[in-house]
Amino acid sequence: MALNKTHEEIPLYIKVNERDNVATIVNFGGLGEGTVFSCGLELLESIPEGHKVALTDLKQGEAIVRYGEVIGYAEIPIKQGTWVKEKYVNLPDPPLLDELPLASKSKKVTPPLEGYTFQGYRNADGSAGIKNILGITTSVQCVAGVLDYTVEKIKKELLPEFPNVHDVVALNHTYGCGVAINAPEAKIPIRTIRNLAAHPNFGGEVMVVGLGCEKLLPERLIPTDDAEANILSLQDQQGFIKMVDSIMSMAKERLEKLNQRERETCPVSDLVIGLQCGGSDAFSGVTANPAVGYAADLLVRAGATVLFSEVTEVRDAVHLLTPRAVNEEVGRALINEMKWYDRYLQIGEADRSANPSPGNKKGGLVNVVEKSLGSIAKSGSSPISGVLSPGEKAKEKGLIFAATPASDFVCGTLQLASGMHMQIFTTGRGTPYGLQMAPVVKVSTRNSLKDQWSDLIDINAGKIATGEATIEDVGWELFHFILYVASGRKQTWTEHWGLHNDLSLFNPAPIT
């Protein structure tokens, strides 16, 4: 990263790679026509914060380069000092999946990071949680109203009796009936619900509320030998009050067990940390995401499992990832997830130009290629040790690609199903997004967002852009913050305010 000045009151831009022929304006509010940088570059027009300026004259059809990679081709001649707008950038072709190098990058040997622990809740299956929560699974959307009513009653009347239990969560979703339950891709929502029910923050206490006539049989969501004792069917109850009383009775039994749990010292290798970006901007790939990537490398060195996701925001940079696979099998698995999603988009008559969002573009991102190159910075530099299909549970340690859509809520739901304890969420535009089952750590890409949302942003990476901190500084800050939150010593702002989004299943199978 080249930063031409270190004080925000004078003109600033960021050039990420020496090969780049565009740079990003840093100053809050942007810079006006006639602004001259210390290097002699003069702006020929006003350019907003986060948007790109041409560092050289670009001919029509010439490659536009950021991150040292081609992000597009000039639609028209672009003069040095001009604002490189979206309409001036033609989208390049995506990498050809069958021609990508596999496991070709030499594996950098890094020493283990020892001596770091957190205070968690040990589970009977050997896993550990960072929260102590009663999760109540649903097998069909029909029961959601009754369960929501009852959960509020449980929180008011029962939860105060069990001070060691943090929360009661209803795992509501829109699946279960009116669906092609035996369609091949129905396996995705079904395994997602099943793995959500077994989340490590639930302490192994299983409880399923069903209706009685749904296509998704409750028995499919829990081990067979646990079915009878852990399933309650509303159609077997004598009216609404009986439904509520029965759910509360089951809940109380489980709350009594959960309340006996206490935190104990656990190795970092017990943690599963998810990475995601939302409301991204042009700073995401130069401040927040690289800092998260540095923290991800620290977590991997400490033995943790780290999930990065969002297929459509990886697809155009996948040529930089397949060489990092630990072996050819992992590399092919990564390619197969890209191919599956390509077909999925084709069936829906959509393409990659549907991303980025209007807000991303307002923040300076011109197309999905630029967004992808910034997005993969979250993955750091560790070898990729495994690949998960949507909703699969993580089994390997190290850096894992967990295939998900880019949608914040769907990605969050699928990462939870993979066993994620905590999500690290970078944002440049800002979002109050949160998850009820797991803390979400918000990392801002800009100082101005941290100033605007001081009571929603946990870690500010914007100070990297102004030279007040390095990527390494913020990476270590985030690493320590993760362990504090995992131990219950600190709360994220989303936890503090009780902000969370609904679970959102990914269901590519037909609805009948």
The full set of domain ranges for the chain reads: 1-93, 133-258, 271-497
DSSP letters for 368-379 = HHHHHHHHGGGG
Q: How far is CA 48 from CA 74, 431, 506, in A?
A: 20, 21, 36
Q: Quick one: which of 420, 415, 423 has its CA closest to 391? A: 415
Q: Quick one: which of 441, 389, 497, 437 has its CA closest to 172? A: 437
Q: Quick one: which of 103, 104, 97 has its CA closest to 336? A: 97
Q: What DSSP character marks residue 42? A: B
**Token pair of 365 as six digits:** 């991102």
Return the SS3 of 464: helix
Neighbours of 112 (CB within 10 A): 9
Neighbours of 13 (CB within 10 A): 25
- pLDDT of 224 reads 67
Q: Quick one: which of 402, 453, 401 has its CA closest to 431? A: 453
**Token pair of 476 as six digits:** 């270590």
- pLDDT of 1 reads 43
155 touches 248 (CB < 8 A):
no
Q: Which CATH architecture has domain 1-93?
A: Roll (2.30)
β-bridge mates for residue 467, sequence order = none
**Token pair of 143 as six digits:** 């029961």
221 touches 234 (CB < 8 A):
no
Q: Quick one: which of 367, 388, 381 has its CA closest to 311? A: 388
Q: How far is CA 334 from CA 107, 306, 459, in A?
A: 18, 16, 31
405 touches 422 (CB < 8 A):
no
- pLDDT of 355 reads 81
Q: Quick one: which of 483, 506, 417, 447 has its CA closest to 199? A: 417
435 touches 416 (CB < 8 A):
yes
Return the SS3 of 483: helix
Alpha helices in 259-367 (DSSP H): 288-301, 328-347, 358-362
Rounded CA separation 472/485 (Å): 20
Q: Which CATH architecture has domain 133-258?
A: 3-Layer(aba) Sandwich (3.40)
φ/ψ of 444, rounded to 5, equals: -85, 145
φ/ψ of 449, rounded to 5, equals: -70, -40
pLDDT in tens, the chain (512 residues): 444 444 447 899 999 999 999 999 999 999 999 999 999 999 999 999 999 999 999 999 999 999 999 999 999 999 999 999 999 999 999 999 999 999 988 877 789 999 999 999 999 999 999 999 999 999 999 999 999 999 999 999 999 999 999 999 999 999 999 999 999 999 999 999 999 999 999 999 999 999 999 999 999 998 767 777 899 999 999 999 999 999 999 999 999 999 999 999 999 999 999 999 999 999 999 999 999 999 999 999 999 999 999 999 999 999 999 999 999 999 999 999 999 999 999 999 888 777 888 999 999 999 999 999 999 999 999 999 999 999 999 999 999 999 999 999 999 999 999 999 999 999 999 999 999 999 999 999 999 999 999 999 999 999 999 999 999 999 999 999 999 999 999 999 999 999 999 999 999 999 99
- pLDDT of 365 reads 94
